[in-house]
Amino acid sequence: MRILILGGDGYLGWPQAIYLSQKGHEVAVFDNLARRQFDLKHGLDSLVPIYSMQRRVERWAEITGKAITRFHGDTVDYPSLSRAFQEFQPEAVVHFAEQRAAPYSMIDREHAVFTQHNNVIGTLNVCYAIKDYAPAAHLVKLGTMGEYGTPNIDIEEGFIEIHHKGRSDVLPFPKQPGSFYHLSKVHDSHNIMFCCRIWGMKSTDLNQGVVYGADTYETALDPALATRFDYDQVYGTALNRFCIQAAIGHPLTVYGSGGQTRGYINIKDTVRCIELAIQSPPAAGEFRVFNQITEWFSVKDLAERVQRVGQRLGLDVMLDSIRNPRVESENHHYNVVHTKLLDLGLQPHLLDEAEIEHMIKLALRYQDQIDRRQVMPTVNWRETENSITPEAALPQAALA
Ligand code: NAD
Ligand code: USQ
């Protein structure tokens, strides 16, 4: 199939592109390199060195003989998006191209507005591009488990049957997201569902949990194919952060009591889930939802796992409960239905000690690159103005 990967330079988009290319699909990547620009602006970096988009694509072709088409463009800029659709004529579109950090969206008004504009308008443009240039294409959209929040009932897979005053209906599961970023995903879901209803578009909304893992079988083939590994307080997710903290002897930053529970998935399963969704498309006009997680943990659970593995490696790993910079429930019910991808054939890679050991060893290998100023959180949900870049962290060129 011809598959267009929007956000194909990101942590997930790049491994997805080479996974699908390896499987024999014709793949194109589309990205505006916004993530790389954010890193430059704020003096951040992936722990694992990542090569330029151009070099990645060239190296993939050198190693496998398989070509990936590259588009530089922005989903918010309709002409550049249209050009990619017209030239490539995708049969499936995998949409990763969004600002994906909750803390980024909570820095201040400007970052909240940027996040919602980039994500919601970008996705609306993607829907129009499908309608205008590839009406039969299947939109596989990355949503998030955080759209649901943490209700005091089990989380169903997208829809819930409601009985009300003697009548009943199957309706979208209620959403109670916890950041302006997570809200942007809810708005996307509504827009996409509407486009399916009015235009007969077909879409799979993947409510994905937190992804972990430093590599896939394809990214591990060559250093030039590596994907990013974020550990900073804005883009780094809890498990990545705990692994680098263990490596540098910093107490693990458990926010609050650590009872916050989230769904998780290995990056190797993410790429497979998307392949499964593409292989079994929905019918025209159908909006379907998969909960893309394989297991769930509390933050404290994760920290204790990292502590155990770290201690086995001879590291002195302490846990530190710091005041939670986010507004979220720290003690809540969490039980999620997630059978649809398993029914399609997903065989999960569960989080084991070997995976955590691999991540800690990676952090030890690159420990000289770790910027300790990025460890403690500075973005607080209760504040409307947050500073994220300690001046000293900026490269001299950025300060000039
Ligand atoms: P990432 O930031 O590493 O990658 C996103 C890519 O999209 C970047 O390369 C960025 O430059 C590009 N991009 C952003 N806005 C764009 C625009 N307007 N036009 C073109 N390109 C644009 O993020 P990721 O971790 O790879 O996440 C990808 C998607 O998966 C996101 O939508 C995210 O919300 C979702 N997701 C991620 C996780 C996770 O744990 N990483 C979990 C659940 C859902
Ligand atoms: N947390 C800590 N300590 C840290 C960092 C985070 O305790 O040092 C806690 C947070 O307070 C939160 C939990 O860990 O309760 C998860 O936070 P996270 O930063 O690991 O992940 P999150 O902000 O939820 O976002 C990530 C991705 C996002 C994706 C989401 C999936 O960045 O793109 O949508 O996971 S989900 O959580 O299911 O919505």
Burial of 265: CB neighbours in 10 Å, binned 0-12, 13-18, 19+: buried
Q: 3-state SS of 316-345?
A: CCCEEEECCCCCCCCCCCCCECCCHHHHHC
In ligand 2, the atom with minimum distance to the C-alpha of 185 is 34
Q: What is the pLDDT of residues 234-280, one digit of tens each?
A: 999 999 999 999 999 999 999 999 999 999 999 999 999 999 999 99
Pocket test for ligand 1, best of 4, 5, 6, 11 (most atoms within 8 A of CB): 11
Q: Ligand 1 pocket, 33 CB below 6 A? A: yes
In ligand 2, the atom with minimum distance to the C-alpha of 254 is 7
pLDDT of residue 398: 42
Tokens 């103005």 correspond to 385
Q: What is the pTM for the complete model shown?
A: 0.97
On average, the pLDDT of the chain sits at 96
Q: Ligand 1 pocket, 11 CB below 6 A? A: yes
366 alpha carbon – ligand 1 mean position (Å): 24
7 alpha carbon – ligand 1 mean position (Å): 6
Q: What is the pLDDT of residues 122-170, one digit of tens each?
A: 999 999 999 999 999 999 999 999 999 999 999 999 999 999 999 999 9
Q: Which alpha helices (DSSP H) does the chain contain, by range?
A: 13-22, 34-42, 53-64, 78-88, 102-105, 109-116, 122-133, 180-199, 238-248, 267-279, 299-312, 340-344, 353-365, 396-399
pLDDT of residue 390: 59
Q: Which residue, by CA, sits nearest to atom 31 of ligand 1?
A: 96
What is the CATH T-level fold of the domain 2-213+266-295, as seen in this structure?
Rossmann fold (3.40.50)
70 alpha carbon – ligand 2 mean position (Å): 30
Q: Where are the domains of the chain?
A: 2-213+266-295
Pairing state between β 68-72 and 202-208: unpaired
297 alpha carbon – ligand 1 mean position (Å): 23
List active site positions.
144, 181, 185
Which mean pLDDT values do the consecutive 10-residue runs of the chain (400 residues) have? 98 98 98 96 94 98 98 98 98 98 97 98 98 98 98 98 98 98 98 98 98 97 98 96 98 98 98 98 98 98 98 97 97 98 98 97 96 95 87 44
List Cβ neighbours of 100 (8 Å cut-off, separation of 6 or more). Answer: 10, 181, 235
